[in-house]
Amino acid sequence: MRYVFRFGLIVLFVATCVLAAWQSRTLAQMRRTAVPETSSAYTADVPPGLNFLLVGLGGFRGVAAEVLWFRAARLQEQGRYLELVQLARWITLLDPHAAENWAYNAWNLAYNISVMMNRPEDRLRWVLNGIALLRDDGLRYNPKSARLYRELAWLFQNKIGDAQDSAHLTYKFYLAESMKPFVQTNGCVKISAAARQGLGALRMDLDRMVAMEKEFGPIDWRLAPTHALYWALQGIPFATGPDKFLALNAACQPLVMLSFQGRFVGDFEKKAWRTAANPRVAVAAAKYMIDALNQENTAVQREITVKYLVFAIRMLVKEADLSAAHQLYAQLTSILPAGEQPPSFDEVVSGGEAF
């Protein structure tokens, strides 16, 4: 009787494994049908060892992922950070099409772990690890994930472009220095075979960069908001539903920054970081934001667009570009609610109570 019971357990175990493997294949097929971009999930880009592991684990990949999550949490609690980069990659590769895994792990490396470092150069290393996890791996397996493009854009916009981190100048100068071989003295991209190859290593496309300069004007590729705009724009075609607003807003934010702080006027040699307004971007940015408003005509998007136009008009007047300022004023009055008395140009410039 005891042997029969043991044999029954063995049969049950084998049957469970077979069922788990069948379920894994069924779910994978359903995912490939529902999300076409995942149909080439495991290609030559995926290491053979990983392919073997994923196929071998079948339905138990979730269990393996849980074990690695617990291991990662323990390492982080113990301050053993060096293993976390590889561990984060393993966790994400166990389910390479789960965007939330890539987003969380990149954020954890760039934000949580980086601030545990005392030296700015050590913090920089973790920020770069977070960026690389999304850019080099996450988007390679999920080339149509609007969320991952948006997350990558935010890392450039917030972690590098803002001043919330005490090491932000280290991040800014590193980005600027890394782009020097590929840009002209004004920060616009060089058009050459060497630049194309070097940018390819950063997963950036020279033709796309040139097209952005034609649309928005002389944008400076040494600045973080330019990179945020580059990645945000790539995610918009894949955004649907509520993600559409988020994707459009992810592009509008760096455009605002490039209008008001889009020219580097500091000194690289003296490590003096200073930026100034870039009026030539302001008009193109206004056009883009109004187009975005026409796509997602929400109260929030309207408020963002109106505020941008008001401050851009004032900036252009200060820069003595009255023609462009009046052009934006015409756009401002065109998007105000019907029946509302528009302010005069002088009222907008002087900053009346309405603004």
In tens digits, the chain (355 residues) has pLDDT values of 555 555 555 555 545 544 444 444 444 444 444 443 433 333 434 455 555 555 555 544 555 555 555 565 665 665 655 666 666 666 666 678 888 888 988 998 899 889 888 999 999 999 999 999 999 989 998 999 999 999 999 999 999 999 999 999 999 999 999 999 999 999 999 999 999 999 999 999 999 999 999 999 999 999 999 999 999 999 999 999 989 999 999 999 999 999 999 999 999 989 999 999 999 999 999 999 999 998 888 888 888 899 999 999 999 999 999 999 999 999 999 898 877 788 999 999 987 545 5
Enclosing domain of residue 98? 62-135
pLDDT for the residue numbered 340? 77
Q: Cα–Cα distances in Å, from 157 out to 160, 254, 257, 271?
A: 6, 7, 9, 21
Domain membership of residue 24 (yes or no) is: no
Domain membership of residue 320 (yes or no) is: no
Q: Count up the domains in the chain and report the number.
A: 1
pLDDT for the residue numbered 341? 83
Domain membership of residue 99 (yes or no) is: yes
Domain membership of residue 103 (yes or no) is: yes
Domain membership of residue 261 (yes or no) is: no
pLDDT for the residue numbered 101? 84
Domain membership of residue 77 (yes or no) is: yes
* Entry pTM: 0.79
* Beta bridge mates, 272: 267
Domain membership of residue 68 (yes or no) is: yes
Domain membership of residue 142 (yes or no) is: no
